[in-house]
Amino acid sequence: MSINYGLRGVVALESDISRIDGAKGILEYRGYNIHDLAQHSSFEEVVFLLLSGYLPTKSELTEFTIELAERRELPEKIIDVLCNLPTISYPTVILRTMYSYLGDLDDSIFMINPQESRRKAIDLIAKTPTIIAYYQNIREDKPLTHPNKNLGHAANFLWMLNGVEPDKIDERALDLDLILHAEHTLNASTFAARIAASTLSDMYAGVVSATGTLFGPLHGGASQKVIEMLRELKDKDTQEIEEWVENKLQAGERIMGFGHRVYKTMDPRVEELRNAAKQLDAVKSNNWLALSDELAEIVYRKKRIYSNVDFYATSIYANLGIPDDQFINMFIMGRIVGWIAHIMDQYQNNKLIRPLQKYVGEENRVFTHIDDR
């Protein structure tokens, strides 16, 4: 019995949602290159593509954008709970809890068919930014800024978060970030979503499983660790950064925002995110990019590993004024689309996911009654 620890290199299923060529640094959603999508589409268009399998016409996109915008409002019961939660809680834990409660409020929670799945999908994608922004409003003791139907998904989130409409550069940077995070084959959180769906559990359960899995620092949780690292390095000179990296590597520690299970060359999303981070840095007069580039060069020189999607996304979030502990939720705002596309795919072609293990404990032990131990 051979074991692939961490399921490294194991092909678990077939999917037509996205494709990675880790050796060449290629990522495609439904066959479309990520660079084309990043440069020429909107998040809404990518959501349509991932859920429906084809690019929308103009009228389909308009209709879909309106539908998403109209489903942003939260049920009163969710708002009541949000308002009564501790303001010191971790925002991703709150989001995970609200996904569960949304499921509880759904009369058709256990109905699994394409129409019901689509309704739940739109609801979950549309309401995620509202949950995140409302909790942030509440933490900051500010009145809730309600969704604005006239704004796109990214712009509306920034509006709800800050109470002012974002400028075009901020809106575009977040839109791009969401496109680039939307889907990424069988990453750990998507796999978790598919495992839950493979038991024919409800879509909310799949999203809760995925949220809990993404939260860890080896996956989406890395984004918060990256900003903590950049803040620590901000006032250090090149020599000091070199020493910091060297010490980490010598101690066998991970440098957050670097390395990837599948990419053995540059992740194509990194280039797009770096360009957006560069534009924002110039406008906001920040220096995140120079520091990030310097760190990336040192880590590559010393360990031959590239930065990953979490690395430059961090500079974008910091420049947009998003609180550090909401960075993981930014990732989820995009990735929820991929989770749901995979959950729907799993329902369509279901086979219970249940791997084997190799037992390494003792066998045939003699049972001793509790009185005789």
Query: Catalytic residue positions?
Result: 219, 260, 310
Beta bridge partners of 21: 26
Going from the C-alpha of 15 to that of each of 35, 182, 343, 357, the distances in angstroms are 21, 16, 11, 25
* Contact yes or no for 19/183 (Cβ under 8 A): no
CA atoms within 13 A on the CB side of 198: 13
- Grouping H, G, I as helix, E, B as strand and the rest as coil, residue 255 is coil
Under the criterion CB under 6 A, does residue 74 sit at the interface with ligand ACO? no
Non-local (6+) Cβ contacts of 291 within 8 A are 230, 233, 234
Nearer of residues 130 and 329 to ligand ACO, judged by Cβ: 329
- What are φ and ψ of residue 87, in 5° steps? -80, -5
User: What is the end-to-end Cα distance of the chain in Å, rounded?
Assistant: 35
Under the criterion CB under 6 A, does residue 25 sit at the interface with ligand ACO? no
Under the criterion CB under 6 A, does residue 255 sit at the interface with ligand ACO? yes
Could you give the maximum distance between any two Cα atoms of the chain, in Å? 77
d(CA 130, CA 136): 10
Residues in binding contact with ligand ACO, number by CB under 6 A: 19
Residues 259-288 that bind ligand ACO (CB under 6 A): 259-261
Going from the C-alpha of 345 to that of each of 7, 202, 222, the distances in angstroms are 21, 13, 28
Under the criterion CB under 6 A, does residue 302 sit at the interface with ligand ACO? no
Under the criterion CB under 6 A, does residue 177 sit at the interface with ligand ACO? no
Candidate list 4, 6, 354, 357; residue touching ligand ACO; CB under 6 A: 6
State which amino acid sits at residue 369.
H
Nearest-approach distance from CB 255 to ligand ACO, in angstroms: 4
Candidate list 166, 257, 268, 338; residue touching ligand ACO; CB under 6 A: 257
Nearer of residues 289 and 295 to ligand ACO, judged by Cβ: 295
Nearer of residues 167 and 243 to ligand ACO, judged by Cβ: 243
Q: 195-234 mask for ligand ACO (x: CB under 6 A)?
A: -----------------------xxx-x------------
From 123-131, 166-174, 248-256, 285-293, span contacting ligand ACO (CB under 6 A): 248-256
Under the criterion CB under 6 A, does residue 9 sit at the interface with ligand ACO? no
Question: What residues line the site for ligand ACO (CB under 6 A)?
Answer: 6, 187, 218-220, 222, 254-261, 303, 305, 308-310
